[in-house]
């Protein structure tokens, strides 16, 4: 094989640890989302469909999911060409699963129905070459809580828990009700005693879940109050340090810009980077996994990761998970950080999305990595297949594993 072929082959054959998803094992039943109707009602496609639809938002969302899927299918795949990244993703899933494209959605539904559901999630992981998935586990979500309360069993080598705590940080009044209902007496006022009790609550969930990290999604204008900063710095960070757990920060959301679109109504805003710089400086022994939503924040984030070895940058999040932005951002990080970052995560909510999100990223990544190796060879440094395997495995697996386990 020549250099380009070796790069392509290694990237395709190296298993991926997907370090941030919203996926669940089949043991979590209705939370394990699969199938064409779930794919078509993903909020990116719903938002795109409404660019053409005349119906009221409420009229769409009150319909059964099968009808919603049919509306999206007819709007984006039948009446016009499926050009967008989300639409192309559906086509990639069909292609990789060997399902012929048909204008009749029922034909496609019948092909999906033929898969064995019990082993289906594992089959999809095999198709996408995913070795392990990190979940997003929210103790404030009643639908998920019941599985933890009933001690549901699943493969913790395949599905790794991650404890999500941003409801506690950004919506304290509502979170306080949950804490009190669970036997952790807190007041609506965030004082010293409340902070200590909230720490006990988080510790209890760390003991229950045994997460690989604690995670929080923060808005573009965080912190909006001293309460939010106190809960993050004095409560969440303190528990992270107690257990040597990284804190994963996903920053830059603007929730509910168009609430009528439900999940599809969230947008993005540019974050004030000074706050994040101060956090990293003040907590040099705390490990931070960080991704940013705003394109404008990417350069600052890359520089931050170059200055602080307790920071690990990861992925191209939400609207940045498109080929042109993946190429731009990954190229920037490689130029500044070498291979010391986690190039991608899928952020999937539907199991089949693993297939297209990783295939589309690998197509971009292969071209970038080849150009860097080609530059090395023009400078007299030969690149062996073993070199490529070591680098790709680091970015797909060990950068994350070593970071979360080191002291």
pLDDT at 407: 79
Distance between CA atoms of 265 and 256, rounded to whole angstroms? 5
What is the average pLDDT across 120-130?
A: 96
Contacts of 69 (CB under 8 A, 6+ apart): 36, 37, 40, 41, 105
CA torsion, ordered 219, 166, 287, 300, to nearest 10 deg:
-10
194 in helix, strand or coil? Answer: helix
Q: Is the pLDDT reported for residue 97 higher than 80?
A: yes
pLDDT of residue 11: 98
Q: b/e per residue, 48-69, with b = 16+ CB within 10 A?
A: bbbeeeeeebeebeeeeeeebb
- What pLDDT does 186 receive? 96
Over residues 255-305, the pLDDT tens digits come to 999 999 999 999 999 999 999 999 999 999 999 999 999 999 999 999 999
Q: What is the pLDDT of residues 313-349, one digit of tens each?
A: 999 999 999 999 999 999 999 999 999 999 999 999 9
Does pLDDT of 1 surpass 80?
yes
Q: Is the dihedral of CA 395, 217, 298, 359 positive or negative?
A: positive
Looking at domain 3-23+136-405, its CATH architecture is: Alpha-Beta Barrel (3.20)
Reported as a pLDDT band with limits 50, 70 and 90, residue 406 is: confident
pLDDT interval class at 8 (50, 70, 90): very high
The two most distant CA atoms of the chain are separated, in Å, by 66
CATH of domain 35-116: 1.10.2020.10
For residue 247, name the pLDDT band (cuts at 50, 70, 90).
very high
pLDDT at 233 over 80: yes
The verdict on whether omega for the bond into residue 223 sits within 30 degrees of 0, i.e. cis, is yes
Mean pLDDT value across the chain: 97
- Cβ count near 280 (within 10 Å): 18
Q: Is 260 in contact with 215 (CB distance < 8 Å)?
A: no
- pLDDT for 36-56, tens place per residue? 999 999 999 999 999 999 999
In the predicted structure, residue 200 carries a pLDDT above the cut 80: yes
**pLDDT at 285 (0 to 100):** 94
What are the extents of the domains in the chain?
A: 3-23+136-405, 35-116
What digits encode the pLDDT tens for the residues 212-222? 999 999 999 99
Closest CA to 137 of 154, 125, 120: 154
What pLDDT score does 117 carry? 72
């Amino acid at each position: 094989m020549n250099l380009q072929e070796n790069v392509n082959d290694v990237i395709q054959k190296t298993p991926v640890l997907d370090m941030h998803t919203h996926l669940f094992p089949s043991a979590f039943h209705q939370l394990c989302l699969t199938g064409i109707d779930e794919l078509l009602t993903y909020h990116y496609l719903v938002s795109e469909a409404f660019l053409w639809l005349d119906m009221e938002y409420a009229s769409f969302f009150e319909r059964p999911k099968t009808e919603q899927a049919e509306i999206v299918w007819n709007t984006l795949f039948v009446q016009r060409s499926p050009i967008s990244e989300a639409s192309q993703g559906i086509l990639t899933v069909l292609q990789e699963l060997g399902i012929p494209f048909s204008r009749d959605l029922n034909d496609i539904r019948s092909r999906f129905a033929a898969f064995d559901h019990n082993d289906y999630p594992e089959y999809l992981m095999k198709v996408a070459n995913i070795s392990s998935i990190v979940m997003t586990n929210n103790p404030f979500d009643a639908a998920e809580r019941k599985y933890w309360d009933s001690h549901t069993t699943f493969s913790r080598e395949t599905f790794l828990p991650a404890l999500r705590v941003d409801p506690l940080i950004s919506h304290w009044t509502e979170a306080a009700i949950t804490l009190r209902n669970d036997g952790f007496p807190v007041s609506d006022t965030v004082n010293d005693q409340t902070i200590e009790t909230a720490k006990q609550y988080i510790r209890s969930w760390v003991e229950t879940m045994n997460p690989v990290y604690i995670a929080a999604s923060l808005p573009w204008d965080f912190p909006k109050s001293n309460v939010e900063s106190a809960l993050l710095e004095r409560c969440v960070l303190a528990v992270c340090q107690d257990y040597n757990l990284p804190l994963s920060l996903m920053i830059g959301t603007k929730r509910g810009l168009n609430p009528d679109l439900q999940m599809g109504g969230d947008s993005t805003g540019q974050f004030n980077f000074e706050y994040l710089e101060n956090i990293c400086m003040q907590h040099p022994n705390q490990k931070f996994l960080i991704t940013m939503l705003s394109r404008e924040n990417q350069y600052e984030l890359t520089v931050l990761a170059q200055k602080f070895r307790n920071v690990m940058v990861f992925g191209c999040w939400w609207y940045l998970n498109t080929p042109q932005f993946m190429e731009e951002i990954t190229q920037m990080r490689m130029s500044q950080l070498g291979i010391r970052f986690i190039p991608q995560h899928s952020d999937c909510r539907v199991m089949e999305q693993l297939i297209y999100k990783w295939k589309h990223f690998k197509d971009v990544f292969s071209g970038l990595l080849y150009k860097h190796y080609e530059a090395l060879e023009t400078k007299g440094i030969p690149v062996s297949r073993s070199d490529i395997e070591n680098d790709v495995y680091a970015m797909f697996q060990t950068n994350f594993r070593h970071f979360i386990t080191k002291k």
